[in-house]
A and B are shown apart, each in its own frame.
Chain A
Amino acid sequence: MTRYIIRRLAWMVLVLFGVAVVTFIIAFLVPGDPARLYAGSNASPASVAIIHHQLGLDRPVYVQFVDYLWRVLHLDFGYSYRYSAPVLPAILQRFPATAELAVAGVFVEVVVGLPIGILAATRPGSIWDRITMVFTFVTLAAPPFWLGLIFLYVFGALIPIFPLGGYGAGMPQYLFLPALTLGLGGAGYYARLLRAVLLDILPKDYIRTANAKGVTPGTVMFRHALPNALTVLITQLGMDLGYFLAGVVVIETVFAWPGIGKQAVDAIFNLDIPLVMGTVLFGALLIVTANVAVDIAYTFIDPRVRY
């Protein structure tokens, strides 16, 4: 186990290095001069040239890259061009809002997705199965930004029971709609996944045996069937972090939620390369860490798994 963790951590470093390289290359391939954006579109070429120099953008690319890596190793992600502030504190300052939204989104996924999946799997072919599958189809197909705007219009303006976006210091009424938007798509996916896995598990011998012994349907489901489906779900949950980070970019923008997703969008539009690279690296670190955590979690969920 220890060797496995060390091996995975080494992989983590390699993956993050790869992400840093790719992000850096992309950032330099994107057309546009950050110094022009920084200075203002009306600034004279001479002014832009001076700022170009001040930002260190006139150094050879490889020098900039080595400098960047060296600073990242010291947890210095550089200075945001747009906000003239250190990148890492800017990300950390906004991360709690994103984390809060992500956790709430997972909660919606689980609370909505699992019962629907169980309902559909235990009554395959029934009207309930059809209704739930239509529901999951709609939630999966609906683009989050569209769904978010519809929710805002219906529940914020038409029937004003929730605020029209904003953070509100994380109060539940502000969190509800963005979390619902973020979680619904995942809930549909989880419901379908759980239905498929359970349809595979429920005909198995040990389930039939439990039923034959007179075990209640609830116990059969929650003690025997569901734990065996969890491995698949947990794997998916680990991979979902990437989906969530992509999702929050859109949802934070629609709901004026002050997280790292909204900040990243602003950074991209303003060619704020240090902030873009910092956010991507931070996101990659979260995803890689989550995947390692999921691998470790297997050993607790399924005693047969050993590394």
Chain B
Amino acid sequence: MRFHVRSVAAFAAGLMLLAACGNTSSGTSDTPVSGGTLNIAMKDDFKTLDPAVAYDTDSWSVERALYNGLLDYQGFTTQLGPDIAAAMPTISSDGKTYTFKLRTDVKFSNGRTVTADDFKYSFERMLNPKTQGPMTGGSFWGSITGAADVYSGKATQISGIKVIDPNTLEIDLDSPNQSFLNVLAMPFGFVIPKEAVAAAGTDFAHHPVGTGPFTLATWTPGQLLVLKKNPNYFGKAPYLNEVDFQIGVDAQVGFLRMQQGQADLVQPDINMPSAQYIQLSTDPTFKSRIVKTPNVDIWYLGMNVNMKPFDNKLVRQAFNMIVNKANQIKVLNGRGVINNGIQAPPMPGFVPSYNPLSLDQNGQSLDKAKALLTQAGYGPSHPFPAQDLVYPKANADSDNLASAIQQDFQSAGITINLKGLSFPAFLDVTGKPNTTALSYDGWIQDFPDPSDFIDPILTCAAANVTANGGNVSFYCNKQLDTLDNQARGDTNPADRLKLYQQIQDIVASQDFPWVPMYSTLQTSVSATRVHGYQLHPVWPLVLTSIWVTGGK
């Protein structure tokens, strides 16, 4: 997800980075104890607890505790495994039919047993335009046979989802999609009971019923959301009896509360603000309680290939050699790693030493950049035109990161004017064609698979839009699209990753629509009475591993 979404993955090379960063659980090796209440300070109220609608990490933090899907990530890894499914699905030889056997012991918190019909209902509701969820229209789920008929209003049932018997679900795809299992594990794939939706009328968002380890006890908007342990939960019971989300607490105040013992976690779904990170890193009580792990994200400068001067590939290549990426990481207090490609560190396909332009340790090559600009026709007689760098004022670091870029280009003789915008305005101007030439962008995973870093942000389909596009460079390369389509259906994991590597080469060493800069580290901290707190590679918050000692 873009910005404001925490995420991580731990796979292959990423495991090394993860180990180096020390994502050990906070607390001691005490034996877990059951009981107690975990207090979490959150800045914003929750948008919704309807899994068909929520597409933000605040809501997902709670949804993960209320619901389950067919599959889930095992432990604190990116390895998918069965959740409500009894086993991993059988997949037809053509890669288009998935058959799931369901566990028979899973109950909703209202006491009713989950069946395959519930999944069919949940998926069809999620894709129905009347639900007003973000997956209607084709995001991720569009490859299910008949899904388009539902979100176009031609049908109310998805022909490609079949209930074979109460415990067997079959899903047919139009074409093979190797990331489909990741899609199923997204919160949009959580199962909900039809009768609870009917009982809640139009307000299931505030009256959720699921299968998860917790149930919603109370939700007073703007004040408090309370979760209680679900006695019907089919998995290992959580240690905590209760989780209280204190809503509306600014991060600064939240960390003060934590230091005073009034909160146990502060906004765990987003990175710690720099000020608190610096302060707590030197605090004898809390410095050892800071947990870190790589985010599955990439931060880059997007150059609109249809707008001058970035319609010239030489210019785009030169820009790739000017940004001091090490400085960007310094601004983030070291919470990041230089990334010269388009894949994020802990993801399959990521090459840690990837450096196709032979950049120096700061990610620069200024002499080559100047030569390229000269080759592009810029010089003393024809100076490079000043450019606006559009960036979102997302947090306290935003201005500093943009200023550092400005200085880098100043040293190369290029004037950059900074144009910080609110997040909605930023999305607006970068999502429309021929509107923004240069922007400071980020992409954070929907799920830890290379396809999520290409389909929504680098394909021709993503460029061929009139508004709300994710391909901010409006970059389109048919060869890349062909490779992407091939990779999507390739059942051989090694071959598939080679295809994604070819795509990365096309972007980072041939066409240069971006200046890839860095990937970040997620950091969080917990109060001293909290044990077993870990950052998950995918989920914004996992409550089931946590236990508390002392307090109420």
Bound state CA distance, A254 and B423, in angstroms? 21
Least Cβ distance of B59 to chain A in Å? 10
The verdict on A167 contacting chain B, using a C-beta distance below 8 Å, is: yes
Tell me which of B129, B138, B256 contacts A157 (CB under 8 A). Answer: B256
Cβ-defined contact, A39 with B256, below 8 A: no
Cβ-defined contact, B467 with A271, below 8 A: no
Q: Which of B109-117, B157-165, B242-250, B538-546 contacts A (4 or more CB under 8 A)?
A: B242-250
Residues of B within 8 A of A36 (CB): 424, 427-428, 431, 468
Tell me which of B3, B129, B260, B428 contacts A156 (CB under 8 A). Answer: B260
Which residues of B in the span 122-138 have a Cβ within 8 Å of any Cβ on A?
A: 129-130, 132, 134-138
Tell me which of A47, A253, A258 contacts B247 (CB under 8 A). Answer: A258
Tell me which of A48, A82, A149, A256 contacts B246 (CB under 8 A). Answer: A256
Bound state CA distance, A94 and B247, in angstroms? 14
The verdict on A243 contacting chain B, using a C-beta distance below 8 Å, is: no
The verdict on B218 contacting chain A, using a C-beta distance below 8 Å, is: no
Chain B's closest residue to A272 (CB) is B47
Which residues of A in the span 258-285 have a Cβ within 8 Å of any Cβ on B?
A: 258-259, 262-263, 266, 269-271
Which residues of B in the span 221-249 have a Cβ within 8 Å of any Cβ on A?
A: 221-223, 246-249
The verdict on A2 contacting chain B, using a C-beta distance below 8 Å, is: no
Cβ-defined contact, A258 with B424, below 8 A: no
Least Cβ distance of B426 to chain A in Å? 8
Cβ-defined contact, A167 with B223, below 8 A: yes
The verdict on B314 contacting chain A, using a C-beta distance below 8 Å, is: no
Least Cβ distance of A174 to chain B in Å? 11
Cβ-defined contact, B222 with A94, below 8 A: yes
Bound state CA distance, A166 and B263, in angstroms? 12
Interface string of B506-522 (1 = CB under 8 A from A): 00000000000000000
Cβ-defined contact, B138 with A44, below 8 A: yes
Least Cβ distance of B547 to chain A in Å? 24
Residues of B within 8 A of A156 (CB): 256, 260
Residues of A within 8 A of B221 (CB): 83, 90, 93-94, 258
Tell me which of A34, A35, A40, A50 contacts B129 (CB under 8 A). Answer: A50
Bound state CA distance, A36 and B4, in angstroms? 15
Indicate whether A149 sits within 8 Å of B427 (C-beta atoms), given known contacts A47-B134, A47-B136, A258-B223. no
Bound state CA distance, A93 and B223, in angstroms? 12
Cβ-defined contact, B246 with A44, below 8 A: no
Bound state CA distance, A40 and B50, in angstroms? 14
The verdict on A216 contacting chain B, using a C-beta distance below 8 Å, is: no
Indicate whether A254 sits within 8 Å of B470 (C-beta atoms), given known contacts A45-B465, A47-B136, A50-B137. no
Bound state CA distance, A252 and B134, in angstroms? 31
- Main SS of the interface on chain B? loop
Least Cβ distance of A279 to chain B in Å? 13
Residues of B within 8 A of A253 (CB): 248, 250
Least Cβ distance of A36 to chain B in Å? 5
Interface string of A158-188 (1 = CB under 8 A from B): 0010011111000000000000000000000
Least Cβ distance of B419 to chain A in Å? 12
Cβ-defined contact, A42 with B55, below 8 A: yes
Cβ-defined contact, B136 with A83, below 8 A: no
Cβ-defined contact, B139 with A157, below 8 A: no
Cβ-defined contact, B205 with A31, below 8 A: no
The verdict on B403 contacting chain A, using a C-beta distance below 8 Å, is: no
Least Cβ distance of B165 to chain A in Å? 33
Cβ-defined contact, A32 with B422, below 8 A: yes
Which residues of A in the span 46-84 have a Cβ within 8 Å of any Cβ on B?
A: 46-51, 53-55, 82-84
Tell me which of B3, B248, B250, B468 contacts A33 (CB under 8 A). Answer: B468
Residues of A within 8 A of B137 (CB): 43-44, 46-50
The verdict on B2 contacting chain A, using a C-beta distance below 8 Å, is: yes
Cβ-defined contact, A40 with B260, below 8 A: no
A33, A34, A263, most chain B CB atoms within 10 A: A33
Chain B's closest residue to A256 (CB) is B248
Residues of B within 8 A of A50 (CB): 129, 136-137, 151
Bound state CA distance, A9 and B205, in angstroms? 40
Cβ-defined contact, A160 with B260, below 8 A: yes
Cβ-defined contact, A41 with B222, below 8 A: no
Cβ-defined contact, B47 with A82, below 8 A: yes
Indicate whether A256 sits within 8 Å of B55 (C-beta atoms), given known contacts A33-B428, A47-B136. no
The verdict on B212 contacting chain A, using a C-beta distance below 8 Å, is: no
A43, A55, A149, most chain B CB atoms within 10 A: A43
Indicate whether A263 sits within 8 Å of B55 (C-beta atoms), given known contacts A42-B2, A54-B129, A256-B253. no
The verdict on B19 contacting chain A, using a C-beta distance below 8 Å, is: no
Tell me which of A31, A149, A157, A263 contacts B428 (CB under 8 A). Answer: A31
Cβ-defined contact, B129 with A44, below 8 A: no
Least Cβ distance of B30 to chain A in Å? 27
Cβ-defined contact, A256 with B249, below 8 A: yes
Cβ-defined contact, B223 with A54, below 8 A: no
Least Cβ distance of A98 to chain B in Å? 11
Tell me which of B139, B222, B257, B469 contacts A164 (CB under 8 A). Answer: B257
Cβ-defined contact, B222 with A44, below 8 A: no
Cβ-defined contact, A254 with B132, below 8 A: no
The verdict on A296 contacting chain B, using a C-beta distance below 8 Å, is: no
Chain B's closest residue to A47 (CB) is B137
The verdict on A37 contacting chain B, using a C-beta distance below 8 Å, is: yes
The verdict on A152 contacting chain B, using a C-beta distance below 8 Å, is: yes
Cβ-defined contact, B468 with A45, below 8 A: yes
Least Cβ distance of B241 to chain A in Å? 21
The verdict on A28 contacting chain B, using a C-beta distance below 8 Å, is: no
Bound state CA distance, A41 and B427, in angstroms? 8
Cβ-defined contact, B45 with A37, below 8 A: no
The verdict on A22 contacting chain B, using a C-beta distance below 8 Å, is: no
Residues of A within 8 A of B1 (CB): 40-42
Interface string of B467-494 (1 = CB under 8 A from A): 1111000000000000000000000000
Bound state CA distance, A39 and B477, in angstroms? 28
The verdict on A153 contacting chain B, using a C-beta distance below 8 Å, is: yes
The verdict on A85 contacting chain B, using a C-beta distance below 8 Å, is: yes
Cβ-defined contact, A39 with B134, below 8 A: yes
Least Cβ distance of B149 to chain A in Å? 14
Cβ-defined contact, A31 with B424, below 8 A: yes
Cβ-defined contact, B55 with A40, below 8 A: yes
Q: Closest 8 interchain pairs by CB? A: A40-B55, A32-B424, A47-B137, A258-B222, A46-B137, A39-B134, A43-B134, A31-B425
Cβ contacts A to B, 30 pairs, < 8 Å? A30-B425, A31-B428, A31-B429, A32-B424, A33-B427, A33-B428, A33-B468, A36-B431, A37-B424, A41-B423, A43-B134, A46-B138, A47-B136, A51-B134, A55-B132, A83-B45, A83-B47, A93-B221, A94-B221, A149-B252, A152-B256, A163-B262, A165-B249, A167-B223, A252-B248, A258-B221, A262-B222, A262-B248, A269-B422, A269-B424
Beyond the given pairs A55-B132, A253-B248, 12 more chain A to chain B contacts, judged by CB atoms under 8 angstroms and listed by A's residue number, are: A32-B425, A47-B135, A50-B151, A54-B130, A84-B202, A157-B260, A163-B262, A164-B257, A165-B250, A257-B248, A258-B221, A258-B247
- A-side residues, CB < 8 A to B, are 30-51, 53-55, 82-85, 90, 93-94, 149, 152-153, 156-157, 160, 163-167, 252-259, 262-263, 266, 269-271
